[in-house]
Amino acid sequence: MIFVYPYKKKDSDFCIIHSVKLLNKYYPNSAIFTIGDKVDGIDNIPHDDSNIIRGANVTSKLLLASESFREFVYMNDDFFINDRIDFNRVYCGSELLERKEGKASISWNQSVDNTKHYLSHNNLNTITYECHQPVLFNSELLRSTMSQIDWRNNDHFVKSLYFNINPPTNPMPIDNVKLIEPNINRANMFLSMFGCFSIGQGFLTEQGANFIKKLI
């Protein structure tokens, strides 16, 4: 299995290092790559950010990955998984909806609006696949999907576009598995139910960081 992290260097590589350690623990024969910036000990495919829009840089990195691999799992550096996750199962939420002011960035809500507008205009479902979970992409289908869309100049959600344009069979409802605070009970529940959870910066207290270290 191939795992791909579109990656922009941060002040600390703690998250991606421990995310990758979990992949090596549960999927020891996999190939793991960062696309973009290099992290010591992880294979890298270099790619410079050339777009003003952050999401466009992510999509550009995923499309670069699609030129090298027939299929791959799209990971973020703050995703933590175990062997309970089923990569042949597509996880989703309900409807793509804006979040209240203070609960999301302007870019997030603009991505909701743009993605929803495109899907509605083309009489497609507007289900959210933005639950902070890894997904398996077919590279040919990803290129075909994004070739229809002006993704370089508009905020967008690549996962929700991909799966609403190419609807999966029986997608499985999932909670948004991102944890902003170090709720260890909820992290364990998500790992047990879905095999994954994601974190915000607020999770990385001493308690939260130690919990992640102990997963390895």
Q: What is the pLDDT of residues 166-195, one digit of tens each?
A: 999 999 999 899 999 999 999 999 999 999
Residues of the chain with pLDDT under 70: 100-104
CATH class of the domain at 2-92+130-157+169-215: alpha beta
Provide the pLDDT for residue 117.
97
Nearest to 203 by CA among 84, 68, 36, 80: 80
Provide the pLDDT for residue 101.
60
**Is the CA virtual torsion 114, 115, 120, 126 positive or negative?**
negative
Q: Where are the beta strands (DSSP E) in 27-160?
A: 31-36, 43-46, 71-74, 79-81, 91-92, 135-138
Q: Which residue is listed with tokens 């609960």?
A: 103
Q: Which residue is listed with tokens 């191939």?
A: 2
Provide the pLDDT for residue 104.
62
Q: What is the DSSP letter of 134?
A: -
Cα three-residue angle 92-69-76, rounded to 5 degrees: 45
- Report the C-alpha gap between 95 and 93 in whole angstroms: 7
pTM: 0.95
Provide the pLDDT for residue 105.
78
Provide the pLDDT for residue 103.
59
Q: Domain coordinates of the chain in residue numbers?
A: 2-92+130-157+169-215
Nearest to 117 by CA among 166, 159, 142, 154: 154
Please give the structure tokens belonging to residue 120: 């509605």
